[in-house]
Amino acid sequence: MLMSILGTLNSIIMKKDIQNLKVEDVAVAIVPRDIKDELWDSYLINLKAAELKNVLVNSKGYGEFKGDKVKTTVLRHFFEEISSESPMLIEPIQTKLFELTNEYWVSFVLDGHMYDKKFVFVRGSIHEDNFTTIPLLGKKGVMIR
């Protein structure tokens, strides 16, 4: 009986029926508090004209440090909503973690659909050489859109 129900569900919901929605006008930025400060801040930037709802951000770092494989703790942040055209502070990040790959996996609901995207800052990419002006913050930092 259960196998029959599962077979019916599989035929009803096919891969072609699942929407692959592209995340646009959302970015993650890493911004120094002060260039000499050990703590910088990570932001989720909503560049859309609509608010994002039920936003979940998972962040983690991984890679090699002094020849050893390392992983940071996975941090999870939930924001009920992020207003249109506004930044949201995710968390502080220590500069020593810039030697790792830093990943922010963002999920949110917009217009009744769920979206998700991984924003990956590869090792060494969070550096002054890669600074740009961060929209809506008016500060210099590194951003992935």
How would you write the pLDDT of the chain (145 residues) with one tens digit per residue? 555 555 655 655 555 556 778 999 999 999 999 878 899 999 999 999 999 999 999 999 999 988 999 999 999 999 999 999 999 999 999 999 999 999 999 999 999 999 999 999 999 999 999 999 999 999 999 999 9
Chain center to CA of 57: 6
Q: What pLDDT does residue 102 have? A: 98
Strands laid side by side in the 139-144 sheet: 86-94, 39-46, 26-32, 139-144, 132-134
* Domain edges within the chain: 20-144
CATH fold of 20-144: Immunoglobulin-like (2.60.40)
pTM score, whole prediction: 0.86
As a whole number of angstroms, the distance between CA 59 and CA 72 comes to 9
* Angle (nearest 5°) at CA 21 between 84 and 18: 140
As a whole number of angstroms, the distance between CA 65 and CA 115 comes to 33
CA nearest neighbour of 90 among 129, 63, 59, 52: 59
